[in-house]
Amino acid sequence: MASTNPFQHANADDLAGVNESIADVGVRGRRGRRSANGERINRGRKAKDRKAAARANMHYGLPEWEGLKPVILFLLFPGMLAVSIALTGPWPIWALYGLAGLMGLYVFSTAFRGVELILACLLLYLPFSGTYVIPVAPGVNGTNMLLLLGLFASVLAKVDGRLTWLSWPPGTTMVFLFGFISCLSGFTIMREPGGYAHLMYHELLSYKAWIDQFLMYFIALSCIRTIEVAKRFVLYMCIGAMILAIYAIPEMLDKMGGSSIDKSRIGGPHKQPNMFGGFLAYTVLPIGAIFVTYIKDIRAWLLTPYFLLAAKLLIATFSRGAYLAMAVGAFMAAYYKGKGFLFFIATVSICVFLVFPGLFPQAVKDRLIGSEKEIEVIETGPEKLDKSSEHRIILWRAGGKMILESPILGKGFKGFQKLKGQYTEKEVHESDPHNTYIYVAAQMGLPALVLFLMILGYSFHLGRVLSRNKEDLFIRAIGVGGAAATVCYSVICIFGSRAVNLEFTSYFWAYLVCMQVISYQLKQKSMEALPKKRRTNAFEKRNSVSAEADANPSATASDARISTRDALEDQQDTSAQRALPAPSGQRKRKRSDVSLADAREKRRRLKHHRR
């Protein structure tokens, strides 16, 4: 009988430790063998090494100084002017207007070269446009002049052939369609009795402020065309957010320690605490994204004083919507930075507030859950809310009724303010619905609301995609900041009609354009980097031989003969291949130089021969 022993031809000495090693494999497995051999087990080490190597190969990505230099040097002049006024006291009005006129002339002169400085000045000025109106003539102020100057510079760039009208990245059609449908509400309100007079004599400036958002979006699209320019504008917006925080310090110090929450709230340049708190919340997140992305760089920690100041200002606004929006936005920024980073920050924050509960201000607790005197215990019967929340719910119900009556076109621009008395359960003095989504749907229709939600979703999608960029750290920071700021912006819109003018929405639209351009340019580069399909023709070999002969006129006659012989051999090989029989199942086309008349005569003779 044949043996089935696989080691029958091996020596006994060679098989001494085989059984022991097999038993060791079955009992302890791979981890046990590694431990027995003294190997160090480090779970996840390879993944960490891969991440470290990928980060080491990433481009640092900060904007180049040569592009920033013209704008930064120009901004130093008004910065030094503001410091001088703060140190020496108020200056005469004629001196201030004279200096402002000189700066305006310089900005106007740059319109013949480009739009970047004009758009940067517009972004830095818009948050302060409610406080510093700069009236020039009836209906003409600083915002209007900068918008018209931006349009003028865009037209000049188009006429000179330097730029096309728009680069039109994906998502642009959606924004302009939303602008068109929402602007139709100015005509819809005229259907209501007294609607024309209400719009023309009371809300014309508000309607113009709504249209200004899309004009600024158009100017931003005409200016921001490359990734480098988009990076610079993100940096300009970060500088603007810091200037805004510094500006609010005197008001915060003046109102600190007020006798009530209402007297302690700061409104900033927006002159409204909820508006200022929301703007501060969504503009601090892009700077926070840059910090967490470059957290291993010691220079990033220079932003710490700004974060402490922003936190203090946010607390001083006593805006519950801003608190919640900031918390959700910070959560998203930490999540897209990394799940481990999010878990670490959340754990540390919870531990700090549990160990040191005094760090959480009592005024914030009173604002969020009410003070002991203001809290009303819910007993039997309907729920009792504070006055502000009760009024908001009444207004939201009125907005819902308006949406049901006019779901397509809405009630018209500022129709909620004019018609709310017909839909409220009881008289409410407030005319704002305290919700941007109800504001849009009730006055502009559900199609406008759907487009607005699509814009928010697309902005979040762009941020999420850019946050995964593996080549440029600054683009990754822009993505993290874009995703977090969009979520924060969306939450803010739940608690108030915020997205109604450029004072609040300017940075959102500009940031959206930056993300659109970066995403579009990266996609174009990836498409160009793909290998193109090579096209060949029947004379490629002959053309290559001719090209080599033209490139080397000093070639010897022997080289020419060799090339000719190779070409003849290739032709013979091709003829031989053509002479091969056709594969089975395929018909081989006959090639003949015989004319049709000769072929016809040949067939006639063959037929006659068969007879």
CA-CA distance, 171 to 168, in Å (whole number)?
8
Give the mean pLDDT of 229-241. 93
Specify whether the CB–CB gap between 179 and 214 falls below 8 A.
yes
Q: Which one, of 517, 523, 37, 586, lies nearest residue 230 by Cα?
A: 517
Confidence of residue 580 (pLDDT cuts 50, 70, 90): very low
Q: How far is CA 510 from the centre of its chain?
A: 9
- Of residues 14 and 329, the one with the higher pLDDT is 329
Q: Which residue has the tokens 């098989």?
A: 15
Tokens of 398: 């009125």
Nearest to 505 by CA among 200, 158, 270: 270
pLDDT for 592 equals 53
Q: How many residues does the chain have?
A: 611
- Whole-prediction pTM value? 0.76
Contacts of 393-397 with C-beta under 8 Å, sequence gap 24+, read 394/424, 394/425, 394/426, 394/428, 395/420, 395/424, 395/428, 395/430, 395/432, 395/433, 395/434, 396/433, 396/434, 396/435, 396/438, 397/423, 397/424, 397/425
% residues pLDDT > 90 (the chain): 27
CB 318 within 8 A of CB 265: yes
Give kind and range of the element (H or E) at residue 28: helix 18-36
CA-to-CA distance for 566 and 293, rounded, in angstroms? 61
Inter-axis angle of helices 93-110 and 65-88, nearest 10: 170
Contact (Cβ atoms closer than 8 angstroms) between residue 429 and residue 404: no
Whether the CB-CB separation of 170 and 520 falls below 8 Å is answered with: yes
pLDDT exceeds 50 at position 511: yes
291 burial via Cβ count (<10 Å: 0-12, 13-18, 19+): buried
574 or 415, which is more confident? Answer: 415
- Confidence class for position 593, pLDDT limits 50, 70, 90: low
* Per-residue DSSP letter, 586: -
What is the average per-residue pLDDT within 511-532?
A: 87
d(CA 299, CA 290): 11
Tell me which residue of 481, 436, 448, 443 sits closest to 462, measured CA to CA. 481
Strand partners, 472: 59
Residue 559 pLDDT > 60 = no
pLDDT tens, position by position, 126-167: 998 888 887 777 777 888 888 888 888 888 877 766 666 667
Question: Distance (Å, rounded) from C-alpha 126 to C-alpha 111?
Answer: 19
What pLDDT, on a 0 to 100 scale, did the predictor assign at position 57?
A: 56
Q: Which of 128, 126, 349, 114 is nearest to 224 (CA)?
A: 114
pLDDT of residue 306: 94
State the angle between helix axes of 116-125 and 502-529 in degrees (0 to 180), rounded to the nearest 10: 140
The reported pLDDT for the residue numbered 375 is: 47
Alpha-carbon gap, residue 47 to 476, rounded angstroms: 20
Per-residue confidence (pLDDT) for residue 586, from 0 to 100: 47
13 pLDDT more than 80: no
pLDDT tens sequence across 242-276: 999 999 998 899 888 777 778 888 988 988 899 99
